[in-house]
Structure 1
Amino acid sequence: MAISIKILSNSEYEVTVNSNTTTTHIVTFSDEVHKNLTNEQVTKEELLEFSFKFLLDREPNTSILSSFELTIISKYFSDFEMSVKKWCSNT
């Protein structure tokens, strides 16, 4: 499985997941969200890649929303924010 990220703007990204079925997702998040989640210890692209690996550990790529704001992941998986912060502290 491969994850590729295309920058559409400072706050919008296109993420493609190549698996049995290839899916494309538009993900948005602000600089503020990036800073709050990572304390700017990783790039936005690294945060996105981690976020998709986190999701793919829990569901198939075909179940991931086609368009969403990054923080919505916490509404579905309450451990998301804690997982990001733990990952960043180990990076």
Structure 2
Amino acid sequence: MGSTTFATGLAKFAQTVITRLINVCYKTMAHVLAEAALDIRSKMAQSEKFKQAARDLGCAEDAEAFDKAIRKIAKAPPPQTVAKRKAKTKKPAK
């Protein structure tokens, strides 16, 4: 009779512990997911702020306007073609 009561008590204790662990894990997981969602929202807001700042500076969102703005900034010459590179290379010594 005593062992049955002990086994029942142990089973109830185990069930309580498992229930509490599940609740803690669920709350922790929910907290992590909420933080991730908040992080995504803040990053989206940051990208929107960047786009708005670009618009305020007069940048358009099309590729042609982007290329025009880049040409103002980047003064590097256009890349050489393969034929021009080969013409500049020296022939190996014999």
TM (normalized to structure 2)?
Answer: 0.22
Q: Which has a greater percent of strand?
A: 1
Q: Which has the larger radius of gyration?
A: 2
Which structure is richer in relative contact order (CA contacts within 8 A, separation 6 or more)? 1
* Greater per-residue helix proportion: 2
Taking structure 1 as the reference length, the TM-score comes to 0.23
